[in-house]
């Protein structure tokens, strides 16, 4: 299951940075796992790390070439296949978050078989999970939840892991989406698991652990999102978090991809507690992360954060702008070692 490191990031010839966001996210959070980037002529994205050829990367010890791009249909352009086959021939494994499976391309499948390379399609789980049991297990867990999709749940979880580790806490990021899997080198894309096994997969991902160990679990969707709330609930039940952090984007008026209004932060806290109690009666909210990027003036951003802190009597921060220290302070108070 583990994706071998270090990585060579393949950015292809994508037309902008957004199309390479998976690769750029890996560099943001795991700079030292990335030996370099391999770009085709015309590539408009730049992860600001060394440009390497496949031969150079292989010589320097690269173990996996990660297809660090996203595109609308999730398909693999034909003119990338040669590069992938070359990487396999050079001894690298390949990891992809595209919808299309690597092994469905005959040239890639054949090369992988011939050279013993592993093909990781992180969007497709090849694992079998048990159904969730809901039994309490040792170790502590923190889950990020959201008022919507794409409001910073992965970013917040990674920032929390980094802050907790910097204080010597035993914290481990647990990935539940494709970019997160590359960043942690393991994990499971929960949205690709068969429905019956959502909470079972979340239990597998956050197993029994030391009493002082924190799994910091990347949330998915929102309990209030009509497309994905089932995944959110299964993850909540399976992760049985002791603590959760609500993530929010204050300028959004309707939920991503649908016409529904955003819930309030308070509604998310209440429903997360009401549902989470099923597998962890002591579940509690320990903070709120707000993306204030749209508020250019820092004063304005700080005002919003302190208003929200007062309303909910919780630490509130923008993890990108101000870090997550206040939340970790509060977490340590709520869960003394």
Residue ranges binding a second copy (CB under 8 A): 131-135, 190-196, 198-200, 223-224, 226-235, 237-238, 257-260, 271, 274-275, 278-279
Task: Please report how many Cα atoms fall inside a 13 Å half-sphere around the Cα of residue 44, on the Cβ side.
Answer: 6
Closer residue to a second copy in complex, CB, 55/278: 278
Closer residue to a second copy in complex, CB, 196/212: 196
CB 255 to a second copy: min, Å: 8
Calpha distance 160→135 (Å, rounded) = 26
Calpha distance 48→42 (Å, rounded) = 16
CB 69 to a second copy: min, Å: 20
Calpha distance 201→246 (Å, rounded) = 22
Closer residue to a second copy in complex, CB, 124/284: 124
Are 331 and 243 in contact by the 8 Å Cβ rule? The answer is: yes
- Phi first, then psi: what are they for 10, rounded to 5°? -100, 120
All residues at 6 or more sequence positions from 128 whose CB lies less than 8 Å from its CB, including other chains: none
Calpha distance 242→142 (Å, rounded) = 6
Q: Which H or E element spans position 39?
A: strand 34-39
Closer residue to a second copy in complex, CB, 102/193: 193
CB 199 to a second copy: min, Å: 6
Closer residue to a second copy in complex, CB, 115/252: 252
CB 125 to a second copy: min, Å: 9
Are 37 and 8 in contact by the 8 Å Cβ rule? The answer is: yes
Q: Which H or E element spans position 150?
A: none
CB 236 to a second copy: min, Å: 9
CB 21 to a second copy: min, Å: 19
DSSP 219: P
Closer residue to a second copy in complex, CB, 131/166: 131
């Amino acid at each position: 299951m583990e994706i071998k490191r270090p990585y060579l990031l393949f950015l292809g010839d994508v037309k902008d940075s957004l199309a390479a966001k998976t690769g750029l996210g890996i560099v943001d959070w795991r700079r030292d796992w990335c030996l370099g980037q391999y770009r085709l002529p015309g590539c408009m994205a730049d992860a600001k790390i060394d440009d390497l050829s496949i031969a150079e990367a292989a010589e320097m010890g690269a173990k996996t070439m990660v297809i660090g791009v996203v595109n609308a249909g999730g398909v693999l352009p034909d003119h990338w296949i040669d590069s992938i086959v070359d990487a396999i021939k050079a001894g690298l494994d390949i990891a992809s978050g595209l919808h299309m499976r690597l092994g469905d391309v005959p040239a890639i499948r054949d090369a992988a078989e011939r050279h013993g390379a592993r093909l990781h399609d992180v969007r497709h789980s090849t694992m079998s999970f048990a159904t969730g049991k809901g039994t309490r297990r040792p170790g502590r867990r923190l889950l990020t939840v959201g008022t919507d999709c794409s409001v910073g749940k992965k970013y917040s979880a990674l920032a929390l892991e980094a802050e907790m580790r910097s204080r010597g806490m035993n914290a481990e990021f647990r990935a539940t989406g494709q970019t997160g899997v590359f960043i942690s080198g393991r994990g499971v894309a929960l949205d690709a698991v068969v429905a019956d096994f959502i909470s079972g997969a979340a239990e597998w991902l956050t197993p029994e652990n030391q009493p002082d160990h924190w799994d910091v679990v990347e949330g998915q969707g929102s309990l209030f999102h009509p497309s994905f709330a089932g995944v959110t609930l299964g993850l909540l039940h399976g992760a049985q978090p002791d603590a959760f952090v609500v993530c929010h984007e204050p300028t959004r008026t309707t939920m991503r991809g649908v016409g529904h209004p955003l819930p309030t932060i308070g509604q998310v806290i209440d429903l997360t507690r009401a549902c989470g109690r099923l597998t962890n009666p002591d579940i509690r909210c320990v903070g709120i992360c707000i993306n204030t990027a749209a508020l250019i003036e820092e004063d304005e951003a700080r005002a919003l954060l302190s208003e929200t802190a007062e309303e909910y009597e919780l630490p509130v921060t923008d993890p990108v702008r101000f870090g997550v220290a206040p939340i970790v302070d509060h977490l340590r108070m709520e869960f003394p070692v």
